[in-house]
Amino acid sequence: MFVYPKVLPNNYTGCQTIWEINSKMNPTIYFKQGVPVTIEVYNDNKLLSTCQINEKEGKAASNNIICNDWINFMANEYKEARPYTDELPQGSDPRR
């Protein structure tokens, strides 16, 4: 699993993305001043879903299941349950 950037400062404005080597579904969460505001979920490099994040509830404002599953994963599970790295095997970095 590849998470970039892995560590975010409290006032971060920008995005954070997860790529799983064996998965085609990848989320990107956009932050404004440290608060997650939007999530985009891609499947096989095609936009599958875009959701605004309800800041108070910490979930997709539209109650979109796909978005909420990834929001929960990013917030709670990936740091503890899954190994991740800043290094991808050669030739598998989707940013190139």
The domain limits of the chain are 2-81
Helix (H, G, I), strand (E, B) or coil at 74: helix
Handedness of CA 86, 91, 94, 96 (dihedral sign): positive
Tell me the average pLDDT of the chain: 76
Give the pTM. 0.69
Reported as a single tens digit per residue, the pLDDT across 4-42 is 787 788 899 999 888 776 777 788 889 999 888 888 988
User: Is residue 93 predicted with pLDDT exceeding 60?
Assistant: no
Q: Assign 81 a pLDDT band (cuts: 50, 70, 90).
A: very low
State residue 14's pLDDT score: 94
Mean predicted confidence (pLDDT) in 40-54: 87
DSSP string, 14-64: EEEEEE-TT-SEEEEEEEETTEEEEEEEEETTEEEEEEEEETTTTEETT--
State residue 82's pLDDT score: 44
